[in-house]
Amino acid sequence: MFRTLSLGICFVIAAIVPAAAQARRYNLGRSATTEEIRARDISVAPDGTGLPAGSGTAAQGRAVYKAKCATCHGERGVGSADFPALVGGRGTLASDKPLPTVGSYWPYATTLWDYIRRAMPYQRPGSLRPDEVYSVTAYVLFMNGIVAQRQELSKESLPKVRMPNRDGFIPDRRPDVQSSVK
């Protein structure tokens, strides 16, 4: 009897303590407004949802890449000891020495666009304008033989770019995970 009562008390405490901890307030800051959340929501989905207006070609991206990317990734995107290669590696993923590059590994061109926008250039991440990001994305895809030099990329055309490793990933079939890619 005492054991059953102790066990019951333990269950009650286990239910109350986390709820009390979650209710604690520190009176710091404030809740973000809807506008503030919207301004920070710069996510880009594989299907292109979230891409802003703008456009660019590899021909336009060459100058931006040379000025803001080549120092780290090399003139031809082959990388260095400290920065990864962006070009090459096709057919190496199943080998003993895989080279995961944009052209060999990345499944979606929109993911490349999103990464460049958020993290590049290394010294000033997020400083590129949307047209520059489209142009650099086009140039990196061009160096990998994925798009033509004069092919214009925009929020409409970028999601349609078919990456070589697009089907190299296993879809997440859990019922609680919704995919934005069909």
What tokens does 180 get?
A: 């934005």
Q: What is the pLDDT of residues 134-175, one digit of tens each?
A: 999 999 999 999 999 999 999 999 999 999 999 998 888 888
* pLDDT score for 17: 63
Query: What is this structure's pTM?
Result: 0.76
Answer with the residue of higher pLDDT: 6 or 162: 162
Q: Name residue 162's beta-bridge partners.
A: 108
CB contact set of 132 (below 8 Å; sequence gap of 6+): 56, 61, 64
Q: b/e map of 64-88 (b: 16 or more CB within 10 Å)?
A: bbeebbeebbeeebebeeeeebbbb
Q: State residue 24's pLDDT score.
A: 67
| Average pLDDT across the chain, whole number | 88
Reported as a single tens digit per residue, the pLDDT across 95-110 is 999 999 999 999 999 9
Residues 6 or more apart whose Cβ sits within 8 Å of residue 100: 89, 93
Q: 138 with 147: CB under 8 angstroms? A: yes
**1 pLDDT more than 60:** no
- Percent of the chain predicted with pLDDT > 70: 84
CATH fold for the domain made of 54-160: Cytochrome Bc1 Complex; Chain D, domain 2 (1.10.760)
- Is the distance from CB of 68 to CB of 128 less than 8 angstroms? yes
Average pLDDT over every residue of 76-91? 94
- Please tell me the predicted confidence (pLDDT) of residue 41: 76
Measured in residues, the chain has a length of 182
Q: Where are the domains of the chain?
A: 54-160
Does residue 5 surpass a pLDDT of 70? Answer: no
Question: What letter does residue 140 receive in the DSSP assignment?
Answer: H
Asked if pLDDT for residue 66 goes beyond 90, the answer is yes
